[in-house]
Amino acid sequence: MKKLLGLLLLMGTISTLLLFFHLGEIDNATGDAVSTFSISKNVTLGYCPTMESYLELLEDESFDFSSVSSANEALRKLEDGSLDVVLIGRRAYEYEYSPNEVILMEGYTLVAEEGGLIYSEELGYLEIQTYVKDVELEEFFPDLNLNYHETFEEAVGYGGVALVKWSDWNDDLQLVIPVHGDGRKDIRFRTPVLYSN
């Protein structure tokens, strides 16, 4: 149910952005609308590989899709104007260009004092700290050995690896990125985040 609501939010948010891109221009001298509606320009939406599955929801919209190799590249292209909107699988770091952020669906990530990559298959051997008490959490992560704490601070301060909500993540927390044997990121630890100018 949460995933369906998140997908509906994704479609609504992007449709709203389309409306803003397609509204007529304003005459700077008079402040009057030059035209009321125009569909002369498609919105160029850049996306990182972990967000490709969300594109099928947007096929009927006025988008030109542009695949990029990473979230960082997407944000750089948004900054230089070669993309209008980007859809990436994580929140931007403070040092990255990120003018307008919308987290489209609540998601989770792993953090630790020292970040890095870990094979998803190895996660079951770790005791992972968390403060998240969502009912669906253990259904979504049946392979994780979760140790619950009362607060975010207790969970991340306990030591080792902690599972946190993306909405609570900040630059002080180092990402632990689960990957499959072939190097693909485990999308269970990604969440759709939209950035625009």
At residue 122, the 3 state secondary structure works out as helix
Q: Taking a C-beta distance cutoff of 8 angstroms, is the pair 186, 151 a contact? A: no
Residue 96 in tokens: 């990255």
Angle at CA of residue 61, ends 41 and 165, nearest 5°: 110
Angle at CA of residue 47, ends 103 and 57, nearest 5°: 75
Return the closest-CA partner of residue 162 out of 150, 183, 147. 147
Q: Can you state the percent helix, strand and coil of the chain, rounding each to 5?
A: 30, 25, 40
Residue type, 105: M
- Which residues are CB-neighbours of 34 under 8 A, at least 6 positions away? 24, 25, 26, 27
> How far does CA 120 lie from the centroid of its chain?
19
Q: What is the pLDDT of residue 17?
A: 46
User: Which domains, and CATH codes, for the chain?
Assistant: 2-106+190-196 (3.40.190), 108-189 (3.40.190)
Q: Taking a C-beta distance cutoff of 8 angstroms, is the pair 70, 48 a contact? A: yes
Higher pLDDT, 197 or 18: 197
Whole-structure pTM value? 0.77
pLDDT at 136 over 60: yes
Residue-wise pLDDT for 42-100, tens only, equals 889 999 999 998 887 777 667 889 999 999 999 999 999 999 999 999 999 999 987 89
Higher pLDDT, 24 or 116: 116
Q: Which of 6-20, 87-101, 130-144, 175-189 is predicted least confidently?
A: 6-20
